[in-house]
Chains A and B, each alone.
Chain A
């Protein structure tokens, strides 16, 4: 009977099957290797006895108690044991194991295990760790030991000695007994004591124990320490030191709580996450990050450019404020600190103020012995450093999120991950919870259907049709994007020509002229609003295997559009306006470009408002009132995030031409936050599609870094390196290119101070020579290559370790089967003995 059951288990095929079969039949086994069997018998006898004692002593767990009760009962009734008793016992045991579940899928928890086997199974360390305090303590004991070793000695080969992992030798202590737990606790306390305080606190925090237990352990540690401390008398000085430390810590805590209360939008974010989950929340968090970047940018430009210049105004402007400036950015705004043209090209005299403290390179000038502020250099270095630091922060956060969201994994266990981690505990609204559970149900069903469908190959015709649809969709998208690009190109050319003509006849109303400037931003914003809708329409036509591919395709198309728009505009500004600025009557083309960017930012904001109003509010009202549908529109996270990225690119492009542009961007982001928040709350419903928030966040940050920041910095660098600045305004008015400012300064420095000629030579060799740029890039690539190789190696090791774990699991199974057979044999022998006795 046992043999039959064993066969019905869906064990992995191969040698194990035959092994378990042979193990389970004692007769065959004894025929095969009697000597071996004796040895096994003896060793397990001990083990069973040990565990029996342990079990009787401890068993804090109901399960174990029940089992040991059962065991006792069995032992008492052993002489009477007949078939029905056997049946009853088995039933009891299996009820405990798995109430009504599919037991036949379970290779180890088969029916017919004796209670001893079950007990050993349930007290295996891998299982106790999930429920038992003692096991947790022992695990952390090992961890602290490892940490201690790492702290005390340099990492040596000793750290990898087998004793640091639970081995067979220490199994005697790994049991569930209270004795063992007490000794473990003692050891843990000892280990903790030898750790430095910060590590100890971190370790205690990291333990999944309740507060009371943590407090107890901590008190034990403290007590021992006090005993040690009390031997030495505390001197007055050290007492004072402790008081100071305690006071500092208290003030630090109050400072922390103050900081926490400062965190903006906390409650709003909680409300959004309670209703829409992590996906929509990630949009708002992204917005918050952008606000942070802009605040940083503004702090830098404000401290080093705007403030020094504002303190020393070069001249008063006379244009009066008319109101249209807010829209166009021109007019009375054009001769203020807002734009490049206002900044001086000379060294500012230094008074008592000390604004440029951080910029050592620019504060040292040769013109005068006293400290002064060289505006061109400050301008150059501030913009350069701001871009550089932003780039470093972005790359750092990108690599961090990459590490978190794309762990090295061989198999993609989507189903498991979905089951274990899809529940969003933050969602608290009842309706949203309902929607979420429905979504999870349908997603699981779809995934399962996909799994079964994967094996059936789709026909050639179907695949061809799908490819055709994809081809048509991509053609439409690319054609429309190219069309828009060409449209913007010709329109901007037209505007340019118009400006040239208007420049000649002077009788045009200046207000009209300024209003005309708004046409290009409006056209671009309309395209940015309408084309994504077209892409969405095209997207409905297609069918994709997975929603994530669909999302990536949508993002790719939108990105293509936005980047091509920005490319055309950059060409328009840098290739058309900059070289022939005099023909359209400009004295300062940088000011003009800055104003254009201001207008673009503003138009982008206005169209976001319109989109929110029409796309979300009116559409909701329309579908509710006219179409009588209950569903509300879904918040399109990807498109909205791409809009944000587009706006941020504009802001980064404009920093060079208008150092105050980050302020405009900050204001815009604040308004967008509140508008989108209320719109989402009012108009939208929880998304139906699954959304992998953290991977999407990674992608968005990558997009923010690679096309957006990189593109902006390429444009800015190009402007600095090879475009001649205006000759009558701005900090670089006498120079051929902005980059020459550094060289110019070097020359002056060398003339004044011949001993510094090394510096100037270094500047010529290192900064102006492209060779070092290539070397730097080469080193960077090599580092990346090494890292990818390391990852490859780790992947191999992971697969090896996985094989090993599988082998050990099979060993475990083998041992358990053996144990069971031995137990069975013993019982049979006892029964036979009993029957012999009774016949006698």
Chain B
């Protein structure tokens, strides 16, 4: 029992210092927000994991959060923010804070657009090629039949997107081209947001 108490105390101490530092390095979030994030995160952990400091929550449990549950990009979001070696999309508390800070109010347009790009880049090759765009559009329109685009529509849409945004005409949308588009759509900053 004593040992358990000690470990929890240690964990709390470490957590406190780490959150303190995190805030200073990373974002202007107030402490109350950080603590609420921690509370939500520990709810996802299983009992025996609560004592571990760098416990990972697997992707299956992360996406049960109500804020992510019905989001079509939930798996991509987890994978982008995960630092796990196996690339299985599991998140530590730090990763979770990363996620929240990118989706928070105080994140700049640059950070937001960078992470949006990585979320939309399904095959992780650094550019949005036609396959990525197709997946993206399919995610947006959902799986229902009447909303889904037909193959000719999809082809036309993708060629239009490339025509509009691919400035150097290499057939893919790279990060700077993406940010160029995003900087002209003012609604992006307000819609790329997840509030806990």
The yes or no answer to A543 lying at the interface (CB within 8 A) is no
- A105→B182 contact, CB < 8 A: no
* Residue in A12, A413, A809 whose CB lies within 8 Å of B181: A413
Question: Contact string, A447-473, partner B, CB cutoff 8 A, digits 1/0?
Answer: 010011000000000000000000000
Most-contacted residue by chain B among A127, A417, A451 (CB, 10 A): A417
* Residue in A127, A254, A802 whose CB lies within 8 Å of B127: A127
- B171→A270 contact, CB < 8 A: no
**Shortest CB–CB separation between residue A311 and chain B, in angstroms?**
39
**Knowing A106-B129, A129-B126 touch, does A405 contact B155 (C-beta < 8 A)?**
no
The yes or no answer to A766 lying at the interface (CB within 8 A) is no
Residue of B with least CB distance to A103? B130
- A438→B142 contact, CB < 8 A: yes
**Which residues of A are found within 8 Å of B171, using beta-carbon distances?**
105-109
- B94→A425 contact, CB < 8 A: no
Question: Contact string, A702-729, partner B, CB cutoff 8 A, digits 1/0?
Answer: 0000000000000000000000000000
**Which residues of A are found within 8 Å of B114, using beta-carbon distances?**
130, 208
- A425→B120 contact, CB < 8 A: no
Question: Contact string, A210-249, partner B, CB cutoff 8 A, digits 1/0?
Answer: 1110110010000000000000000000000000000000
* Residue in A212, A413, A428, A448 whose CB lies within 8 Å of B66: A428
The yes or no answer to A419 lying at the interface (CB within 8 A) is yes
Q: How far is the CA of A236 from the CA of B171 in the complex (A)?
A: 63
- B103→A425 contact, CB < 8 A: yes
Q: How far is the CA of A671 from the CA of B131 in the complex (A)?
A: 51
- A105→B194 contact, CB < 8 A: no
**Knowing A208-B111, A428-B66, A441-B148 touch, does A260 contact B174 (C-beta < 8 A)?**
no
**Shortest CB–CB separation between residue B34 and chain A, in angstroms?**
9
The yes or no answer to A444 lying at the interface (CB within 8 A) is yes
**Which residues of B are found within 8 Å of A415, using beta-carbon distances?**
157, 160-161, 164
The yes or no answer to B57 lying at the interface (CB within 8 A) is no
- A257→B67 contact, CB < 8 A: no
The yes or no answer to A437 lying at the interface (CB within 8 A) is yes
Q: How far is the CA of A127 from the CA of B137 in the complex (A)?
A: 21
Interface residues of A in 393-431 (CB under 8 A from B): 404-405, 407, 409, 411, 413, 415-417, 419-426, 428-430
Total number of A residues with any Cβ neighbor in B under 8 Å: 90
- A206→B110 contact, CB < 8 A: yes
Q: How far is the CA of A256 from the CA of B187 in the complex (A)?
A: 27
Question: Contact string, A35-79, partner B, CB cutoff 8 A, digits 1/0?
Answer: 000000000000000000000000001110000000000000000
Question: Contact string, B182-196, partner A, CB cutoff 8 A, digits 1/0?
Answer: 111111101111110
Residue of B with least CB distance to A218? B25
Q: How far is the CA of A813 from the CA of B170 in the complex (A)?
A: 7
The yes or no answer to B12 lying at the interface (CB within 8 A) is no
**Which residues of B are found within 8 Å of A130, using beta-carbon distances?**
114, 117-118, 121, 126-127, 174-175, 178
The yes or no answer to A347 lying at the interface (CB within 8 A) is no
- A426→B183 contact, CB < 8 A: no
Q: How far is the CA of A230 from the CA of B189 in the complex (A)?
A: 43
Residue of B with least CB distance to A405? B186
Closest 6 pairs (CB-CB, A-B): A809-B168, A441-B147, A101-B131, A437-B142, A413-B164, A257-B30
User: Can you sample 9 A-B contacts with CB below 8 Å?
Assistant: A102-B155, A107-B169, A107-B171, A131-B126, A205-B26, A206-B108, A210-B95, A445-B153, A694-B186
Q: Which residues of A contact B (CB under 8 A)?
A: 12, 61-63, 97-103, 105-109, 122, 126-132, 201, 204-208, 210-212, 214-215, 218, 253-254, 256-257, 260-261, 270, 273, 277-278, 404-405, 407, 409, 411, 413, 415-417, 419-426, 428-430, 433-434, 437-438, 440-442, 444-445, 448, 451-452, 692-695, 802, 805-806, 808-810, 812-813
